[in-house]
Amino acid sequence: MGDFAKYIPEFLTGTQETLYMVLVSAMFAYLVGLPLGVWVTITDRDGLRPNRAINSVLSVIINVGRSVPFIILIVALIPLTRFLVGTSIGPTAAIVALSVAAAPFVARMVETSLKEIDLGMIEAARTMGATDWQIIFRVMLPESVPSLIRGLSITIITLVGYSAMAGAVGGGGLGFIAISYGYNRFKDDVMLVTVILMIAIVSAIQLLFELVAKAVDKKNR
């Protein structure tokens, strides 16, 4: 562990890169996944606007998106990544594949959260003259905030895992450090520190989001 100190800057950059990849791709994933999740929920059989055709198409897109192994997705998206980012390596490039992988995942999480809502509440809003739009934005989404926050936490944690995989194939971040030092150059201690850092990040996210979810939840306290 003698020359350990000289890796500290690398760990710092690695952690930063990991957080950058994860947070930015989570944002993009929600930009697509949140509306998609709402859409698939309201087109479901007992949704606000049942529509079997749209619902089936969305379901297929989400399921296919979720079942493509991430490592294959990275490779398959190289042309798109080059087009969007200009390169297929580095943390920014990794964001493309991470976002695409997480969007359908987010859609399902959002759907699960929205379906936890008591249908009676939606009917009650209906009797008060609420439009579908008002029901979505004033009943469904606000009432599922605690559950959506827990979903966000799971999404971010999943993305941390994916980002390590992306890192291993050139995406940067802690995954890249683990591969290039720990594996290629047999630095077991570096590998160990990376793993500990990842565990720390995941635990911190879990703890933080659980606290926030508890704090905002006025139903189950």
Partner 1 sequence: MSEGTPIIQIRGLSKTFVTDHEIMALRNIDLDVQKGDIFGIIGMSGAGKSTLLRCIALLETPTSGTIEIEGRDISTLRGRDLIALRKQIGVIFQGYHLLMQRTVRRNIAFPLELEHKSKEEIARRTDELLEIVGLSDKANAYPSQLSGGQKQRVAIARALASNPKIILCDEPTSALDSVTTKSILQLLTDINRNLGVSVMIITHEIGVVRAICNKVAVINDGLFVEQGEMPGIFQKPTNAVTRLLLGLGEEDE
Between the CA of residue 108 and those of 46, 102, 181, what are the distances in Å? 17, 10, 37
Task: Return the SS3 of 185.
Answer: coil
DSSP per position, 69-115? -HHHHHHHTHHHHHHHHS-SSSHHHHHHHHHHHHHHHHHHHHHHHHH
The answer to the question of residue 9 lying near partner 1 (CB under 8 A) is no
Tell which positions 62-121 bind partner 1, by CB under 8 A: 118, 120-121
The answer to the question of residue 35 lying near partner 1 (CB under 8 A) is no
The answer to the question of residue 1 lying near partner 1 (CB under 8 A) is no
Tell which positions 139-158 bind partner 1, by CB under 8 A: 139, 142-143, 145-146
Phi, psi of 128 (to 5 degrees): -85, 5
CA distance linking residue 134 with residue 141, whole number of Å: 10
State the minimum distance, in angstroms, from the CB of residue 129 to partner 1: 4
Cβ proximity to partner 1: between 184 and 220 the closer is 220
State the minimum distance, in angstroms, from the CB of residue 125 to partner 1: 7
Taking a C-beta distance cutoff of 8 angstroms, is the pair 102, 29 a contact? yes
The answer to the question of residue 138 lying near partner 1 (CB under 8 A) is yes
State the minimum distance, in angstroms, from the CB of residue 52 to partner 1: 17
The answer to the question of residue 212 lying near partner 1 (CB under 8 A) is no
Q: Which residues sit at the interface with partner 1, rule CB under 8 A?
A: 118, 120-121, 123-131, 134, 138-139, 142-143, 145-146, 216-221
